[in-house]
Amino acid sequence: MKKHQIRLRWQDVRDLPYPFDKDLSAEETAEVMEYCENDVLSTKAVFEDFEKQGVFDVARTISELFDFVANKPFYTWQAQLGSGILSQLYRRSIGVPIGRKIKQPAPTYFEPRLYINEAVAFSDERNQEVLAYLKTLPSENVVSIPSTSGRLMNKGCTEWGRKYLPDVKLYAGNVAFRLGVGGIHSDFHQQHVRGHLIDFDVTSYYPSLILQAGRCPTGLTED
C-alpha cells in the first residue's frame, strides 16, 4: 500500500503509530483514528487509479485466458503470477501433470566473487567491508530442490543465506539494508512522512541482472 501511496504522491504516508495490542490513551486513540482515515482514503484512491488504468480488466482477462490461475490475478504480485503461469504452461508442454515431481536438477555452484563486478566500490567503509566479505565466501551448491508436489523449493539458496548472510548489512547514510536470498531489505523503523514523495523503480531490474550474469534456466536459448 505504501508503495502505491508514494506512486500516487499521496500527501501523508505513515505506519501504524503504536503496537496493535497497546492500550491507547484518548490522545493516542485520536492519532490512530487519523491514521485509519488516511489509510481508507488512500486505499480508495488506489482502487480508483487501478480502475482508471484498467488493472481489473487485465486481471479478468488473465483469469479467462488461463483457467488454472482462478482469481489469483486480483491479489497476487505480478512476478509471482507470471512465474506460476509460465511454470504451468511449461509443465503442460512437456506432459508433466500438475503435482508430479520434476526430474532432480544438477548441482549449481555459486561463488559470489565471480558475480561481483570489479568496478563496484563504496565510499562508506562499512559497505566496503561487506563487499570484501562477500568476495571471500566459498563456492557451494545452491540448487533448487523439487518437493514431492513438484514445486521448486529454494532450499539450497535459503540454507546458504542463513549460513553467510544473517547479520550482513549495507548502508545508505544512516539507513541499514539487510542482504537476503531474494534481495535487499531495508531496516526502516516506523515512519510518518508528510509531503509529496517520489518512487524510483527500475524496469526489469532482476531479469537484466540475470541476463548479465548469464544465469538463464537450462534449456533456454540466448534469445
Using one digit for the tens of pLDDT, what is the confidence trace for 156-178? 677 777 888 888 899 988 888 88
| Rounded mean pLDDT, 40-65 | 91
Residue 42: pLDDT band (50, 70, 90) is: very high
Q: What is the pLDDT of residue 132?
A: 94
With respect to residue 142, please indicate whether it lies within any of the assigned structural domains.
yes
With respect to residue 161, please indicate whether it lies within any of the assigned structural domains.
yes
The count of domains in the chain is 1
> pTM of the predicted model, to two decimals?
0.50
Q: What SS3 state is found at 56? A: helix
Using one digit for the tens of pLDDT, what is the confidence trace for 112-124? 888 888 889 999 9
Q: What is the pLDDT of residue 97?
A: 63
With respect to residue 84, please indicate whether it lies within any of the assigned structural domains.
no
Strand order in the sheet with 184-186: 169-172, 175-179, 184-186
With respect to residue 198, please indicate whether it lies within any of the assigned structural domains.
no
8 touches 44 (CB < 8 A): no
| Rounded mean pLDDT, 26-40 | 92
| Rounded mean pLDDT, 45-55 | 92
With respect to residue 6, please indicate whether it lies within any of the assigned structural domains.
no
Residue 54 has pLDDT above 80, yes or no: yes
> What percent of the chain is modeled with pLDDT above 90?
22
With respect to residue 69, please indicate whether it lies within any of the assigned structural domains.
no
Question: Cα–Cα distances in Å, from 138 out to 77, 122, 134, 213?
Answer: 33, 22, 9, 18
With respect to residue 95, please indicate whether it lies within any of the assigned structural domains.
no
Residue 216: pLDDT band (50, 70, 90) is: low
With respect to residue 170, please indicate whether it lies within any of the assigned structural domains.
yes
pLDDT: which is higher, 130 or 193: 130
The average confidence (pLDDT) of the chain is: 79
Q: What SS3 state is found at 10? A: coil
Q: How far apart are CA 124 and CA 137, in angstroms?
A: 21
Q: What is the pLDDT of residue 115?
A: 84
Q: Where in the sequence is the domain holding 146, given as residue range(s)?
A: 102-189
